[in-house]
Amino acid sequence: MSQAALRNVSLEIEDGELVGIIGPTGSGKSTLIQHFNGLLKPDSGKVFVDGVDLTLKDTQLRLIRQKVGMVFQYPEHQLFGETVLEDVGFGPRNIGLSDEDVIQRVREALAYVGLDFEAIKDKSPFELSGGQKRRVAIAGVLAMRPSVLVLDEPTAGLDPEGREEILAEISQLHNDGITVVLVTHSMEDIARLATRLIVMDRGTVALDGTPVEVFREVARLRELGLGVPEITELMHELKARGLDVRTDILTVPEAEEEIIRVMGWRK
């Protein structure tokens, strides 16, 4: 009766990668990432984090969840604290840290998401703006000092400025050595950020490679109801109209350079 949500998914994510997971709605993206910290366990198969098998009964999932931070969709819907300090400090307190350590962690986490600790710590999370709420919620996960951060559509429902800020913060975290897994619907965002792309389709991995490799499969992606970044689309269109440009281009500056090169213009 029941259908498997994931089948034959075999992946290895290395330290320091920034992996984008894309796929149509219902392709198993959210189910997949919930296996990364043991919120879901596979009916068959294994999940390892730093060599620890999450499917074993005696695995300390608490430790794993500390290591693998998970930011769900609309994380601001999970805010509960009377103050920002209390809410962001929830994770560190659950680990059993001292008050000083908790405050230190909160300060550090809020700095990461670009919020001023002194200005915001005593405010109620419910009186903040939408973008601020989201950043406080993300800080709540960062306060656990995870070495892997998994985010499910972190920019959904934000205005362009909020998006840019969140994406810049994610990029910063990645530069600081945190492994990031990012589920998204935005091809533009992922093309710029990811070092690797995984495309899911009906519970299996359809494509897996660098953004350039994946976005080369324009036909396949269209078939799945996914697109390629608009700028890549443009390059394909130019090629189709007879201009001999490269099509493995993901950002506007790259495209600019390429068009200038092909046309023989000078800057």
Partner 1 sequence: MFRSVTIGQHIPGDSIIHRLDPRTKILSALALIVLLFVIDGFVGYGLAALAIALVVRASKIPGRFVLRGIRPLMVILVLTLALHLFMTDGRVIFQFLFLKVTWEGLIRGLLMGTRLILLIIGTSMLTLTTSPMQLTDGIETLLRPGKRIGIPAHELAMMMTIALRFIPTLLEETEKIMKAQMARGADFQSGGLMQRAKSLIPLLVPLFVNAFRRADDLAIAMEARGYRGGEGRTKLRELQFQQHDRIALILVAAFSILMGLLF
- Give yes or no for residue 214 binding partner 1 (CB under 8 A): no
* Interface map 56-75 toward partner 1 (x if CB under 8 A): ------x--xx--xx-x--x
Q: Is 197 exposed, middle or buried (0-12, 13-18, 19+ CB in 10 A)?
A: buried
- Region binding partner 1 by CB under 8 A among candidate stretches 43-51, 136-144, 155-163, 242-250: 136-144
Amino acid identity for residue 29 in this structure: K
Cα diameter, the chain: 66
# residues contacting partner 1 (CB under 8 A): 22
Question: Per-residue DSSP letters for 99-126?
Answer: HHHHHHHHHHHHHHTT--HHHHTTS-GG
Residue 19 and residue 198 in contact, taking contact as beta carbons nearer than 8 Å: yes
Residue 130 and residue 76 in contact, taking contact as beta carbons nearer than 8 Å: yes
Residues 95-114 that bind partner 1 (CB under 8 A): 95
* Interface map 32-51 toward partner 1 (x if CB under 8 A): --x--x-x------------
Residue 178 and residue 13 in contact, taking contact as beta carbons nearer than 8 Å: no
To partner 1, the closest distance from the beta carbon of 68 in angstroms equals 8
To partner 1, the closest distance from the beta carbon of 77 in angstroms equals 6
Q: Which residues bind partner 1 (CB under 8 A)?
A: 34, 37, 39, 62, 65-66, 69-70, 72, 75, 77-80, 90-91, 94-95, 126, 140-141, 144
